[in-house]
Structures are given as structure tokens and as C-alpha cells.
Amino acid sequence: DAGVTQSPTHLIKTRGQHVTLRCSPISGHKSVSWYQQVLGQGPQFIFQYYEKEERGRGNFPDRFSARQFPNYSSELNVNALLLGDSALYLCASSSDEIWAGELFFGEGSRLTVL
């Protein structure tokens, strides 16, 4: 079975641009979470979706938004990119609303903002 898949794997943007990152959860998983991992740090929670509804939001500015589609895939959008947005963006899925201990991560999308 395929794991969590994310695209693109790498991308380079300039300050002020917009980026869309995509995630397909493990087949049968209905919950998707997004995390940001800055180099040398642990992942930091951004958003959590279950059955297309936002169930949690971390301490990120409104430039960050996300949504989940009927097929449970998800998009993370970041507007007005800043240099500090350079990071590995991780998507994780779980089978149900039970997330703790059942989060499976994708390999991430590495964003570089110049």
C-alpha cells in the first residue's frame, strides 16, 4: 500500500509569492495534519482536518490556509512568502479522529524561499 504522498518534493519560490502544497493520505485514512519543520527543529503543528472540517490550528499567521477535499486529499496554501517560511512541510494522515500515536508522515515538501 502506498504511504502518504506529497507533491512537489522540492520547490523554490521568491519572497511575496504564493505556494500550494498537496498531500494524499494513506488509502482509507480520513484525517490529515500539516506540520512545518525548520532545519534543526522538530515539526511544528499547522493544521488538522478530519472529514473535510478543520479540527485544529496551530500558531501560524493567516497567510497559511488549508483545505481537505471529498477524497480526503489536502492542500496547504501559503501566501506572501517570507524567507522564514523556508522549511520542510510535512503531511501526516491517520485512519480516524484518533490521531495521537497513529500519525503517519509523508516525506515532505521542501520549500526554499529566496
Partner 1 sequence: QKEVEQDPGPLSVPEGAIVSLNCTYSNSAFQYFMWYRQYSRKGPELLMYTYSSGNKEDGRFTAQVDKSSKYISLFIRDSQPSDSATYLCAMSRTIRGNLIFGKGTKLSVKP
Q: List residues binding partner 1 (CB under 8 A).
A: 4, 33, 35, 40-45, 48, 55-56, 58, 90, 97-108, 110
Closest distance to partner 1 from the beta carbon of 2 (Å):
14
Closest distance to partner 1 from the beta carbon of 5 (Å):
11
Closest distance to partner 1 from the beta carbon of 15 (Å):
24
Which of 35, 72 has the CB closer to partner 1?
Answer: 35
Convert the chain into a string of H (helix), E (strand) and C (coil): CCCCEEECCEEEECCCCCEEEEEECCCCCCEEEEEEECCCCCCEEEEEEECCEEEEECCCCCCEEEEECCCCCEEEEECCCCHHHCEEEEEEEECCCCCCCCCEECCCEEEEEC
Which of 7, 17 has the CB closer to partner 1?
Answer: 7
Closest distance to partner 1 from the beta carbon of 16 (Å):
27
109-113/87-94 β-pairing: antiparallel
Which of 35, 64 has the CB closer to partner 1?
Answer: 35
Which of 13, 55 has the CB closer to partner 1?
Answer: 55
